[in-house]
Amino acid sequence: MRPRRKSTKSRVVAPPVTVTIDSIGARGDGVAQGPSGPLFIPGTAPGDTVVAAPGEKRGDGWAAKMLDLITPGPDRVDPVCQHAATCGGCSLQHLDLSAIARIKRGHLVEALSRRGISEDLVAQTREVPPGTRRRLRLTIVRPGGRAMIGFNVRGTSRLIDIQECPVARPEIVALLPALRDLATSMNSLGKGGDIQVTLSDTGFDLMFIPARPSDPDLAERQRLVSFAEKHDIARIAWESDGFAEPVAARRPARLIIAGVPVDLPIGAFLQPSREGEAILVDLVRAGLPPDAKIIADLYAGCGSLSLPLAVGGANVFAAEGESAPVDALRRAAAGLRVQAECRDLAKHPLTEQELARYDAVIFDPPRAGAAAQAERLAWSTVKTIVAVSCNPATLARDLGVLMDGGYEVQQVTPVDQFTWSSHLEAVAVLTR
């Protein structure tokens, strides 16, 4: 039998067009009006006049490729990284940082306006500088056994073997050549996988995640231990089939949060930079009334918000859906007024009766937002809510639910701690 031919996406063959970029879309692409609808053109800036080739259908418009830059817009700058033109890690490195802050605030304003929240309530963007990111998840491929480490080319599965990364802490960049040599020697990685690199306050915390489940053999385990000794690594772990095992644990991978040492679980979530975390803590504190003494911190993680509040004298209930961060927070908070509970807030949100005892509630959910918990909060008697979010769309949805329940938005502050990417954090304060 003749093999069935694989289906392919229909591709529009259209002649190049000359257009002027009007704005930056939510994915970081320049948006221009083409003959048949919007064109989404990576690597372009507002005010650029470019020659672009329309391609595949994308949403209500067309993906396109810039063929030539005729006239640069006022916000265009030269990228600082040699990989900027192709690397999928950054999409906005060709824009001035002040323009990025303005554009991201505009995206937040647009999302909130759909819920009737006025632009007057949105503060100016708080920015985190480049070179501060303490956590990266990098891809490893091993063509012919020689490892490459980096990020995918934008929109493809091809890898860029990065030689620099101005987003990351310099210590992480300096370790890349040694990690590349180590990955080359690790046959248990097969064709590749990922490596999560975290720079804790006590040193590097590394976790290898092979693309296919596998375990390092004895010689490879010894190699990992030797690598940890040579490069003064705090911990190296290996995750296979969902189970993470410490292979070399020379000392705890530890963060100091508000003066409190917290031993990080393997693979634990933390804010991408110390600087960004400090901004979030300041905004949360500023949003709480001075007399708020009993506070719920929902989606608490390892306590990046709970611990500063507890050190400041508050009585904090911290809820988190994973047990390892809860255990870490309990150990760290010994002697402080912190009660930590492992609880899936999507399935079992705090009820109105449980919420009644709190002077204020903070929630900092993943990108999917806090829909179920927002519904219960909307019916609660809590006086002040501070919402932290990394997704303007789900933040707007959750704030809309709270507003329908009688809360008023006092202020929303965008926080750009994802330098040169299209992502944005925000902190919203609501009262009733």
Beta strand ranges found along 47-100 (DSSP E): 49-58, 61-71
Q: For 109, which DSSP code?
A: H
Q: Is residue 6 scored above 70 in pLDDT? A: no
* 154-168 exposure pattern, b = at least 16 Cβ within 10 A, e = fewer: beeeebbebeebbbb
Band of pLDDT at residue 154, cut at 50, 70 and 90: confident
**Cα gap 209→239, rounded to integer Å:** 5
Shortest CA distance to 195 belongs to which of 165, 248, 237? 237
Measured CA to CA, the distance from residue 168 to residue 145 in angstroms comes to 27
**What pLDDT, on the 0 to 100 scale, is given for residue 145?**
76
Tokens in use for 221?
């385990």
- Alpha-carbon dihedral of residues 300, 304, 307, 311, nearest 10 degrees? -140
Per residue in 105-141, pLDDT (tens digit) is 999 999 999 999 999 999 999 999 999 999 999 999 9
17-76 and 111-128+270-431 share one CATH topology? no
| pLDDT (mean) for 32-61 | 95
The residues, any chain, with a CB within 8 Å of residue 327's CB and separated by 6 or more, are 265
Question: Is the distance from CB of 149 to CB of 162 less than 8 angstroms?
Answer: yes
- The CATH architecture of the domain made up of 135-254 is Beta Barrel (2.40)
CATH 3.30.43.10 fits 111-128+270-431, yes or no: no
Q: Does the structure show a pLDDT above 60 at 34?
A: yes
Q: In this predicted model, what pLDDT tens digit does every residue of 376-401 receive, in sequence order?
A: 999 999 999 999 999 999 999 999 99
Catalytic residue among 81, 87, 302, 390: 390
Q: What is the residue whose two structure tokens read 């306006």?
A: 113
The CATH code belonging to domain 17-76 is: 2.40.50.140
What CA–CA distances, in Å, run from 3 to 6, 133? Answer: 9, 49
Q: Is 90 a catalytic residue?
A: no
Average pLDDT over residues 11-28: 88
Collapsing DSSP states into helix, strand and coil, what is residue 80? coil
Residue 390's contacts (CB-CB under 8 Å, 6 or more residues apart) are 366, 367, 423, 424, 425
pLDDT band at 260 (very low <50, low <70, confident <90, very high): very high
Q: What is the mean pLDDT of residues 135-158?
A: 92
**Domain segments of the chain as ranges:** 17-76, 111-128+270-431, 135-254
Asked if pLDDT for residue 9 goes beyond 90, the answer is no
What does the chain come to in residues? 432
The average confidence (pLDDT) of the chain is 95
Report the predicted TM-score, pTM, of the whole model to 2 decimal places: 0.93
Three-state DSSP state, 112: helix
Give the pLDDT mean for 392-415: 98
Residue of higher predicted confidence among 9 and 207: 207
Average pLDDT over residues 351-372: 97
- What is the C-alpha to C-alpha distance for residues 61 and 381, in angstroms, rounded to an integer? 45
CA-CA-CA-CA torsion sign (180, 182, 184, 187): negative
184-198 tens-digit pLDDT: 999 999 999 999 999
Please give the Cα distance from 297 to 340 (Å, whole number). 9
Q: Is the pLDDT of residue 25 over 70?
A: yes
**From CA 82, how far away is CA 224, in angstroms rounded?**
31
Residue 30's DSSP bridge partners are: 24, 41
pLDDT number for residue 12: 52
Residue 11 has pLDDT above 70, yes or no: no
* CA 289 to each of CA 294, 340, 374, 429: distance values in angstroms, whole numbers, following the listed order: 11, 22, 20, 11
